[in-house]
Amino acid sequence: MNYMLDTDTVSLIIRKYPSVIEKLIKHEDDEICISTITYAELCYGLEKKGSVRLFNEIMSIIRKFTIVDFDNSQAELYGKIRVGLEKSGTPLGDMDMLIAASALTAGAILITHNTKHFSKINGLKVEDWYKP
């Protein structure tokens, strides 16, 4: 797994953004993963929408990728990330810090449209597939 998709990138895939789809198809499915945190955010959005069609569409997309379970090492890294960002006065949302911990622990590049947001986290490699 070389790339971990942030929730916003999965949304862009669903909306069929050409630049995102173009970059996605250049990689094998086993090079792409999502965190269980992203999966949880998607499940929340699907529950809120209540659309069976959208549920089926999203599930058919994410079933192609590995879903990385959130574990103890990620939880420990989340704590370090959170404290570091709080001390520097640049906190992020909890879900984003959890996703960042997942990507760092997996050794994956986080694919997100929020590169400025995630660039606050030391050592996290990010790419924006939305940009052509």
Amino acid 78: pLDDT: 97
Residue type, 111: I
Amino acid 51: pLDDT: 87
Encode pLDDT of 25-69 as tens digits: 999 988 999 999 999 999 999 999 898 888 898 888 888 999 999
User: CA torsion angle for 19, 24, 25, 26 (degrees, to 10)?
Assistant: 100
Amino acid 21: pLDDT: 94
Share the mean pLDDT of the chain.
93
Average pLDDT score over residue span 95-105: 97
Amino acid 29: pLDDT: 86
pTM over 0.85: yes
Task: Show the domains of the chain with their CATH numbers.
Answer: 3-127 (3.40.50.1010)
| Residue pair 102/70 in contact by the 8 Å Cβ criterion | yes
pLDDT of 1 > 70? The answer is no
| Residue pair 38/99 in contact by the 8 Å Cβ criterion | yes
- Of 2, 22, 3, nearest in space to 131 by CA: 22
Tokens 């990010």, residue located:
126
pLDDT of 84 > 90? The answer is yes
Residue type, 4: M
- Of 68, 21, 18, 64, nearest in space to 40 by CA: 68
Encode pLDDT of 14-27 as tens digits: 999 999 999 999 99
How many Cβ atoms are within 10 Å of 105's Cβ, its own excluded? 20
